[in-house]
């Protein structure tokens, strides 16, 4: 009969420069050469969708998503893994802000509160994390019990990184699983210019390679990317030794996962609709990791909500309701204000009038577009006057004054598809 070595629990305190090092109790076996099993759970582009919502599927509406249900899945997997001495790491690939009234009102605080309770391990900074200003983002960073990562966003004046470039999770006495953060260059055009006036975005491919070179001897590395899939492919070609790339920003479900060389690339859609899972097996001698299996778990109505997370969301929702329950008027046409539509198309929420090309007009426009947001440069640098009035309040006042509104799509603007070479 072969006796199994008695486990030794080690508490390790680590101090590092430029790396967020996680301090955890480790479970190791003296003299053991058995592979190390690790589960990585991930999601991306929540955009403030903490509550379940309905989508059309095959002509029928069904309820999906909800951070409390997602938390239940994470807790279940983590519990199962703990019983087997398997480490579980939870990652978010950016863009937690902007997309719901709750996000607009509370500016990410309920999101961070939920993620803290869920014991999220790290998040990559997305391009929308600055939509409510740099100071708001820095406040969220302080509130979080986990690191925000980005190895390519710097302060212009000092060249210092705004976030930690990476986080390293100690698995044994000499093996870490490291996670590198990367943010899209689109950050510079998808938020108000005043929010990014003091920052710059470095080349994501080179930044990823630099971080990899610094960390590669410590163990396997995962890229936690909030950039385009096209950029993730470029990084996979430049850094072919990466264990995996977990992506965001495109808001697509990469199922099955894509592969560039030996590097698998994942992305778990959006709005808490899927929880991604990859299981790794790490050789304790070579420190190389092998992908054993992967799956995307749908977050559906049959999953019981985690009670602690549900209470947090309900508390914020009740506060929000007090702000949004007032009836201000009537719309006799459907206001299609969905983010994925209104950002790229003329929708019925717009009220268009014919334009005479021979006339000079005084234009009322949002400060985002006036400053060149989304790459729209027509009004950038032109003389302007800031009203300091929020678009939401102007719309509310207009509906109140008219009692009811009617709007239609006139088809005057046509979207021309072209190759988007941005990162």
Strands 199-201 and 153-155: antiparallel
How high is the pLDDT of residue 326?
A: 77
- Report pLDDT for 341: 64
* pLDDT score for 20: 59
CATH 3.60.21.10 at 7-315, yes or no: yes
3-class secondary structure for the chain?
CCCCCCEEEEECCCCCCCCEEECCEEEEECCCCCCEEEEEEEECCCCCCCCCEEEEECCEEEEECCHHHHHHHHHHHHHHHHHCCCEEEEEECCCCCCCCHHHHHHCCHHHHHHHHHCCCCEEECCHHHHCCCHHHHHHHHHHCCCCEECCCEEECCCCCECCECEEEEEEECCEEEEEEEEECHHHHCCCCHHHCCCEEECCHHHHHHHHHHHHHHHCCEEEEEEECHHHHHHHHHHCCCCCEEEEEECCCECCCCEEECCEEEEEECCCCCEEEEEEEEECCCCCCEEEEEEEEEECECCCCCCHHHHHHHHHHHHHHHHHHCCCCCEECCCCCCCHHHHCCCCCCCCCCCCCCCCCCCCCCCCHHHHCCHHHCCCCCCCCCCCCCCCHHHHHHHHHHHHCEECCCCCCCCCCCCCCCCCC
What global pTM score does this model have? Answer: 0.81
The per-residue pLDDT for 30 is 42
| Whole-number pLDDT of residue 205 | 98
Copy the structure tokens of residue 382.
């032109």
Q: What is the pLDDT of residue 308?
A: 98
| Residue (of 370, 362, 336) closest to 350 by Cα position | 336
With a CB cutoff of 8 Å and minimum separation 6, the contacts of 341 are: 347
pLDDT value at residue 23: 44
Per-residue pLDDT at 284:
96
**pLDDT tens track of the chain, all 423 residues?**
444 444 444 443 343 434 455 544 444 444 458 999 999 999 999 999 999 999 988 889 999 999 999 999 999 999 999 999 999 999 999 999 999 999 989 999 999 999 999 999 999 999 999 999 999 999 999 999 999 999 999 999 999 999 999 999 999 999 999 999 999 999 998 888 889 999 999 999 999 999 999 999 999 999 999 999 999 999 999 999 999 999 999 999 999 999 999 999 999 999 999 999 999 999 999 999 999 999 999 999 999 999 999 999 999 999 998 877 778 888 887 766 666 666 666 666 555 566 788 887 777 777 777 777 777 777 777 777 766 566 777 777 788 888 788 877 766 666 676 555 555
pLDDT at 413: 64
- Residues 149 and 208: their CA atoms lie apart, in Å, by 12
Predicted pLDDT at 3 = 42
Distances (CA, A) of 159 to 42, 151, 165, 201: 30, 12, 13, 10
Q: Where are the domains of the chain?
A: 7-315, 327-405
Query: Residue 389 has what pLDDT?
Result: 63
Q: Specify the pLDDT at position 134.
A: 96
């Amino acid at each position: 009969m072969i006796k199994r070595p008695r486990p030794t629990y080690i508490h390790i305190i680590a101090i590092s420069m430029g790396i967020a090092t996680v301090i955890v109790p480790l479970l190791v076996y003296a003299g053991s050469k058995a592979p190390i099993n690790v589960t990585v759970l991930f999601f991306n582009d929540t955009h403030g969708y903490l509550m379940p919502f309905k989508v059309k599927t095959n002509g029928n509406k069904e309820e999906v998503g909800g951070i409390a249900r997602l938390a239940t899945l994470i807790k279940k997997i983590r519990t199962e893994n703990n019983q087997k001495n398997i480490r579980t790491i939870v990652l978010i690939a950016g863009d937690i802000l902007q997309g719901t009234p709750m996000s607009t009102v509370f500016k990410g605080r309920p999101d961070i509160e939920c993620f803290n309770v869920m014991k999220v391990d790290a998040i990559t900074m997305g391009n929308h994390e600055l939509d409510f200003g740099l100071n708001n983002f820095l406040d969220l960073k302080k509130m979080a019990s986990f690191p925000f990562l980005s190895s390519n966003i710097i302060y212009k004046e000092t060249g210092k990184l705004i976030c930690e470039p990476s986080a390293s999770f100690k698995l044994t006495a000499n093996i870490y699983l490291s996670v590198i953060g990367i943010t899209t260059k689109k950050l510079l055009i998808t938020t108000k210019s005043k929010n990014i006036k003091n920052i710059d975005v470095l080349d994501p491919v080179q930044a990823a390679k630099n971080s990899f070179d610094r960390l590669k001897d410590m163990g396997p590395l995962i890229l936690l990317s909030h950039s385009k899939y096209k950029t993730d492919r470029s990084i996979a070609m430049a850094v072919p030794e990466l264990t995996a790339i977990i992506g965001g920003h495109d808001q697509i479900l990469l199922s099955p996962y894509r592969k560039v060389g030996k590097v698998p690339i994942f992305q778990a859609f959006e709005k808490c609709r899927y929880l991604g899972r990859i299981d790794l097996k790490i050789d304790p001698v070579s420190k190389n990791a092998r992908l054993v299996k992967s799956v995307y778990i749908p977050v559906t109505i049959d999953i019981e909500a985690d009670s602690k997370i549900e209470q947090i969301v309900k508390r914020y929702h009740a506060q929000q309701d007090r702000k949004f329950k007032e009836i201000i008027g009537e719309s006799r046409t459907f206001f299609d204000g969905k983010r994925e539509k209104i950002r790229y198309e003329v929708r019925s929420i717009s009220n268009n009038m014919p334009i005479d090309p021979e006339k000079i007009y005084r234009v009322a426009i949002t400060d985002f577009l006036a400053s060149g947001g989304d790459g729209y440069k027509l009004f950038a640098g032109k003389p302007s006057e800031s009203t300091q009035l929020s678009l939401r309040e102007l719309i509310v006042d207009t509906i109140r004054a008219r009692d009811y509104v009617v709007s239609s799509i006139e088809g005057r603007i046509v979207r021309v598809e072209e190759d988007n070479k941005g990162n």
